[in-house]
Structure 1
Amino acid sequence: MWQVARRPRWIGMLFVCLAVAAGFALLGQWQLSRGVETATVVERETETTVPLESIAEPASTISSSAAGQRVSTTGALVPGDGVVLEGRFNDGVEGFWVTGHALTESGVSIAVALGWVADRADAASALKDFTTSERDLTGRYVATEPPAEDDFEAGEQKSMSVAALINQWADAPASVYGGYLVLDDAPAGLDAIDSPVPSAEVTLNWLNVFYAIEWAVFAVFAVFLWFRLVRDEWEREQEDAELELN
């Protein structure tokens, strides 16, 4: 077949197909760049503290608009419901999170990440020093993490899973928020947990991306068309040669 492909006619046709493919590729690149240039950056005002009740509802998943929002509420920690999480990093250092169960003044429960500490013994000590008086709870409202079964099998717990924490609280709450609160001011003996500002969401213009993919397919098809035509020519010559022999 490649003897046919090396003929001047088909070499010329190859250059034509490659030129067409290059044109299609340039059009695809242009469409892709347009898709990026016209992308919409969704910026949210997350650093203005708002009441927790204004953006979240109990017994419902956290919405995208609520995730990462700074919120405040009033509540008290429930004694005996503190849980220590392992393998939590703070400014790049591995340590432990001390978490608690807060009951808001409206009677709704919320999991709270109280603070970070490098040593497990210090984390256990912090659990004993919980103050259960009602206080302002201000911090960042974050989506729950999925529970990790391996944690329980190894006798460890690493994920900040609201569902997993509820099972460890002394009494099942009547109503609970779907996310958890990363507290701004850590209790004595704990460091505040690093809670960065959520990154802005970027929404691409998917119509332009789809057109870019189409042009890429056309470019591949242009080269394939040349191959198919050469193969057809070769098969035709093979058939003619067999007929002459017969």
Structure 2
Amino acid sequence: MSELFDIKRYRVDIVLKLAFTPRWIAGLLLVIALSTGFVMLSHWQLSSATWGQRTADPAKEIVQPWEKFLSAHEPLTIENSDHMVKVTGHYIAGSSYLVTDKLNEGRQGYWVVSAFLPEATPATDSEPRALAIARAWTAKDSLPAEPQGTLTVIGRIVSNDAPYYSRDIEQKYSAEQITSQRMIGTAASAQLTNLWDIPLYGAIITADAETPQGTPLPLDAEGKLLSSATIVGQTRDLHGVRASQVTHEDVNWLNIFYALEWLVFAGFAFFLWWRMLKDSYEKAQDPAEYFEYEGQYWLDEDSGRYYYWDPAEEQYYFFDDISQQQILEERTNKHASS
């Protein structure tokens, strides 16, 4: 048993001695560099798999003044969208339109979009502008009257709807309905500013609550809207829009697959280095199996490699490399003199 252990230990020593030669150390450093690059690419693919994700931000639920997020001639950014805001002013009478094909808890209906003039104009704006307020969702194809007087609207900033073709509405509703009920296909400030002939800010605010002047705002201690908040004249078929934050939590599984693939490449680089080292070791242990040679050969204990004498060339050669002839000749001369 001890003899077997000694043989096994000797073989491990030979492998380690071969692995720590300059050639194999250089190969290992190259493998480490390649594997590091592969791991970095894997990390990049993992990051790419979730780049498009958007999670709900609790800070956006705290109601803040609207002018912090909307400015004239400025587009709505992702950072500013979905914030809950409050604005005090009054609706422009007779400005409302019905925006078709709006769902609410699975029910098909309409948004009531109205023009709203704030009391105060931000200092950065050169002229007064109105806000497009989606003040209600209704299940009926009839326009409710706008609330009168000064009130505070609390709601969420949302982006404009995508463009639409007029024939999409014409296929669902009669010309008389479209005209009499003032139906449009999208809630978009670019279209509404032309319909109302007044300058607007580049976003829509969905009204979750309307509070007449002198009435406490329906906010909790943290400044968040109470679930009991209502709009003026709220009924079962007419109530606040109650928009939620836009979230996107899907994962790109193709990027996950690529990330795993890069890790496999990194592991394969180490395997390839080890396999080449193992093949070199096996060739050194039994060169006659890998080289066409039937004569006598010897082991160079310093390098763990076998060499042989070539009578035609009258020189010593390693089986797998003849670049160290001079070293072998020096060792041969040393043995002969001793």
With normalisation by structure 2, the TM-score equals 0.46
Structure 1 segments of 4 or more deviating over 3 A? Answer: 36-44, 200-204, 208-216
The 2-side partners of 1:61 and 1:166 are apart by 15
The yes-or-no answer on 1:136 pairing with 2:168 is: no
Aligned runs of 1:153-168 on 2, under 5 Å?
154=170, 155=178, 156-168=183-195
**TM-score, normalised to structure 1's length?**
0.61
Q: Is the 8 A contact 2:61 2:84 kept in 1?
A: yes
SS in 1 for 2:76: coil
Tell me how far apart the structure 1 counterparts of residues 48 and 137 of structure 2 sit (CA, whole Å): 41
Q: What's the counterpart of residue 66 of structure 1?
A: 80
Matched, 1:182 2:206: yes
Give the residue type in structure 2 aligned to 1:140: R
Report 1:45-60 matches (<5 A): 45-60=59-74
Question: Which amino acid is the alignment partner of residue 54 of structure 1?
Answer: K
In structure 1, C-alpha distance between the alignment counterparts of 2:205 and 2:246, rounded to whole Å = 14
Instruction: Specify the alignment match of 1:89 in structure 2.
Output: 103
CA deviation map 1:173-213 (0-9, x unaligned): 2x421001100123314212131133277999xxx979749
- Give the conservation status (yes or no) of the 8 Å contact 1:88–1:158: no
Residue of structure 2 in register with 1:79 after alignment: 93
Q: Considering only CA atoms, is the larger Rg found in Structure 1 or Structure 2?
A: 2
What is the SS of the residue equivalent to 2:195?
Answer: coil
Correspondence for 2:132: 111
1:60–1:37 CA distance, 2 compared to 1 (3 A): closer
SS at match of 2:191: helix
How many Å apart are 1:75 and its aligned residue? 1.4
- Give 2:246's aligned residue: 198
Distance across 2 between alignment mates of 1:162 and 1:38: 33
**Alpha-carbon distance between aligned partners in 2 of 1:214 and 1:180, rounded to the nearest angstrom:** 44
CA-atom RMSD, angstroms?
Answer: 3.9
Higher relative contact order (CA 8 A, sep 6+): 1
C-alpha contact 1:51 1:71 (8 A) present in aligned 2: yes
Aligned length: 182
Structure 2: runs of 5+ lacking an equivalent: 1-34, 122-127, 171-177, 210-230, 266-338
Question: How far apart in 1 are the matches of 2:54 and 2:111?
Answer: 31
Alpha-carbon distance change, 139 to 32 in structure 1, aligned in 2, over 3 angstroms = same
Check the 8 A contact 2:132/2:204 in 1, yes or no: yes
